[in-house]
Amino acid sequence: MASEKNLNLKRETVATIVDKIKSSETVILFTYQGLTVEDVSSLRRKLRENDGEVKVYKNTLVKRALDELNLDLDEFLDGPNAILFSKTLLESIKELAAFAKNNKNLNIRAGIIKGDTVNVDTIEEYANIPSMEGLLTMLAGGMIEHVKNLSIGLNLYAEQLNDGQAVETSKVEETPAEEVKSEEPTEVAQTTEETAPEAEETPAEEATQES
């Protein structure tokens, strides 16, 4: 009776592991020997803030769960392992990797990302991807740079237009209006002299001649 109860408990545990793997974006196997209780508590708390949780199962039960999912991590199922289950892709990986850098007693071994098994190198690549906040900051910085360049270009174009208008205005002002006006009377005077009739004799002169 006890053995059957034990068997049912193991089946339930395997089913739980399977469900957790299926519902997780990220699953990471890591060793934790040498970490203090305070360190483990701190790690659990940080991972919970990123929708992650740490569980410890017997390797034999983990293997059975992985076999049901056709996943192979047998070479890493030796010695005490802890497993990170996370519903987020990057945040928990980044948090675990950052913790490992500051705590040599934590070693990341392998994992499952989006249903595929990955090695530690791939996990490190994911850990180095900027966070969503960082990506948004980079995007905003790039957009601001484009807007800045556009503003500079428009300003230079406006300055060129102003310079062109100034040149045209200066050309018009080279011939003063007074010079144009001063030439007109001269022409009129010349025309008057050329077309004016000879002076007629006055009536008094005519009378003198007749007498």
**Residues 146-175: tens digit of each pLDDT:** 666 777 777 776 777 777 666 566 555 555
Tell me the range of 98-107, 132-141, 168-177 where mean pLDDT is highest.
98-107
Q: Residue 29 belongs to what H/E stretch?
A: strand 26-31
* 211 pLDDT above the threshold of 70: no
DSSP string covering 91-137: HHHHHHHHHHHH-TT-EEEEEEETTEEEEHHHHHHHHTSPPHHHHHH
Place of tokens 């793997």: 21
Contacts of 95 (CB under 8 A, 6+ apart): 46, 47, 50, 52
**Residues 188-198: tens digit of each pLDDT:** 444 444 444 44
Q: Which residue would you say has higher pLDDT here, 15 or 197? A: 15
**Are the C-beta atoms of residues 55 and 85 closer than 8 Å to each other?**
yes
- How far is 57 from 197, CA to CA, in rounded Å? 132
In angstroms, the Cα distances linking 121 to 39, 69, 92, 124 are 24, 23, 16, 5
Q: Which amino acid is at 189?
A: A
* 137 pLDDT above the threshold of 90: no
Cα 115 to the center of its chain, rounded Å: 28
